[in-house]
Structure 1
Amino acid sequence: MINLHLGNIGQIIQLAIAPVFLLTGVGTNLTVLTNRLARIIDRSRVLEDMVSAQGAETLSPNMRIELDELYQRSHLINRAITLSSTCALLICLVIAALFLGDALDLHLDKIVAALFVSGVLALIGSFIYFLREIFVATKTLRRQREHGARFLP
């Protein structure tokens, strides 16, 4: 039988505030990551359209390098998005476990702690992949500046 009292709900909501703020930050992070992925996809399509219109033999070495870097960046961003989404899911489970533990009088403190730490570790992993993607993008920009080439039609 579920045993919830108004005072208990207030305490649970207070406990759930920190995970909710973290969830808000993760949502913002996901927005940034998906916007970067969209830009990578758009740039890849431009280059791939150039190749299909002019033929693969017109693909310069710099264009091949840029396409390879774009594919590398997309994989890094996809991993970051996966880890951020995993973090969001784990934080949602933390909030649910807080309410269920109190409502059903279960001692889920170790589960809540494990879920929260796992969520934070997933977020750390997401930021690491995000940083790696930024480093690849910066390297691409530096290379293009040195060679004076960007291949937009």
Structure 2
Amino acid sequence: MSVPPFSGYPFLQPDPIDSVAHVIQTALTPVFMLSGIGTLLNLFNTRLARVSDHLDDVRKQQREQQADGPQEDGPQEDTARLATRSRRLRRRIIALDTAIIFGGIGGALTCGAALALFLGSLRDSHTAALLIFLFGMALSCVVAALAAFLGDTLLAWHAVHREGLFFRIKAETTQ
């Protein structure tokens, strides 16, 4: 018959309060990730609102040009430029929507990981596989959200440089 370790030394056995404190400390770790995800979602939503406002302005300009009717060569260039800008802004909205979706899923999975920690400690069951899956998926979703946000950033960067070049060329030709 095997004797449990530390059975002769009761002062070396783990205290129930210590084990509960360890569970709480372990369960709080995902909360820090959840806080970061919340900050990212706030950033994504703010950026989405700005891009949406910009798209509304572009659409308003397009409607004004259509109402004025065809004029010289200048407005046709502006019409093409506005159509290009509108397409780019819609792609940015898709990228930001994707980032928000993955960020939200990542946050939900992080909450699931924290819940699995608590349930595992209460039931004294083996929840390691579930915990690894939930936290791993949460991290994957956050990485996907950041990748989608990077896509939006690259689209914005491309637009700034392309439109900047367009305006420089137009300014040089009018001088």
Which stretch has the larger CA shift, 118-127 or 48-57?
Answer: 48-57
Instruction: State the match for 1:27 in structure 2.
Output: 38
Q: Identify unmatched segments of 5+ residues in structure 1.
A: none
Contact 1:8 1:102 (8 Å CA) reproduced: no
Task: Answer yes or no: is 1:102 the counterpart of 2:102.
Answer: no
Instruction: State the match for 2:150 in structure 1.
Output: 131
Q: Which has the larger radius of gyration?
A: 2
Distance in 2 between the 1:94 and 1:27 partners? Answer: 16
Distance in 1 between the 2:31 and 2:82 partners? Answer: 44
Distance in 2 between the 1:137 and 1:36 partners? Answer: 11
Distance in 1 between the 2:111 and 2:165 partners? Answer: 46
One-letter amino acid matched to 2:142: L
Contact 2:102 2:142 (8 Å CA) reproduced: yes
Instruction: State the match for 1:65 in structure 2.
Output: 84
Instruction: State the match for 1:37 in structure 2.
Output: 48
Q: Deviations over 1:41-99 (max 9, x none)?
A: 00011111222334276661110000000000000110011001110000000001110
Which stretch has the larger CA shift, 36-45 or 103-112?
Answer: 103-112
Distance in 2 between the 1:33 and 1:92 partners? Answer: 20
Q: Deviations over 1:106-136 (max 9, x none)?
A: 2111100111111101111111111111001
Q: Identify unmatched segments of 5+ residues in structure 2.
A: 1-15, 70-74, 169-175
Q: TM-score, normalised by structure 1?
A: 0.88
3-state SS in 2 of match to 1:107:
coil
Distance in 2 between the 1:22 and 1:51 partners? Answer: 43
- May I ask how many residue pairs the two structures share in their alignment? 145
Contact 1:98 1:112 (8 Å CA) reproduced: yes
Contact 1:90 1:118 (8 Å CA) reproduced: yes
Ranked by relative contact order (alpha carbons within 8 Å, sequence separation 6 or more), the top structure is 1
**Residue identity (%):** 26
> What is the root-mean-square deviation of aligned Cα atoms in Å?
1.7
Distance in 1 between the 2:107 and 2:59 partners? Answer: 34
Give the CA deviation at 1:6: 4.4
Which stretch has the larger CA shift, 131-140 or 99-108?
Answer: 99-108
3-state SS in 2 of match to 1:81:
helix
